[in-house]
Structure 1
Amino acid sequence: MSDKILITTGNLELKAELNDSETAKKLKSLLPLQFSMSRWGDEYYGDCGIRVEAEPGAKVDMEIGELAVWPVGHALCIFFGPTPVSVGDEL
């Protein structure tokens, strides 16, 4: 099962789909959220107040358009290209 969410920034609306992980359920329970994001390479991230541990088997390499939670920074991340630590084509 997945849940669709809407991310709005200015006049831009991005549709996203959450998976059924415990982290996604926690994120959904915090909605609606309003927070600032910063750019790191081709990734936006921001402290959204989520407090979770990394999921077992959590991905390290992301695909363009994917969302992720960074537990250390309590952040939601949106990937749209390489970051400063990307190697080759990986994000």
Structure 2
Amino acid sequence: MQTRPASPRIRISWPAGHLTASLDNTPAAETLAKALPLVCTAATWGEEVYSDTGVSVSRETGARQVVDPGTVAFWTDGGALALPYGPTPISQGEKCRLASPCNVLGRLGGDPRLLATVRDGDPVRVERVEL
């Protein structure tokens, strides 16, 4: 029986805080993990934080536009890490609706509402966390 490697864990840090996340074993998540560490500039869109990564991946068949708060997603149209924690300007109700379908990379640990402390222009560091 073949065992799968452990899911990579990442730490996302900004001046007012940090969160960790577990990544799924998907091609997009693996591509992002190989590019780490990254330092990006944060932008906010409603209750979503996104950061251009300089990484390019194809949209996967499981890409979704509506996700749960705390989903770690990759916006293939913009090459950005997308971290929704609540409604965006195009949401219907309280759902997290991303700008377009995004690859789901994993899930934040902890309270995704901590992302409300991220400000436009904040430096964001994304790095791998060793177990």
Bin the TM-score by the shorter chain. Answer: over 0.9
Greater relative CO (CA pairs within 8 A, separation 6+): 2
Higher deviation after alignment, 72-81 or 57-66: 57-66
Among candidates 32, 35, 50, match of residue 40 of structure 2: 35
Structure-2 residue corresponding to 1:75: 80
Alignment deviations for residues 23-62 of structure 1 (CA, whole Å, 9 cap, x no partner): 0000000000001010000000111111011101212211
Unaligned runs of 5+ in 1: none
Specify the code of the residue in structure 2 equivalent to 1:2. Answer: S
Which ranges in structure 2 are unaligned for 5 or more consecutive residues?
Answer: 1-5, 97-131
| Residue equivalent to 1:2 | 7
Percent identity between the aligned chains?
Answer: 36
Tell me which stretches of 4 or more aligned residues in structure 1 moved more than 6 Å: none
CA shift, 1:65, in A, is: 0.9
**Structure exhibiting the larger radius of gyration computed from Cα positions:** 2
TM-score (norm 2): 0.66
Greater fraction strand: 2
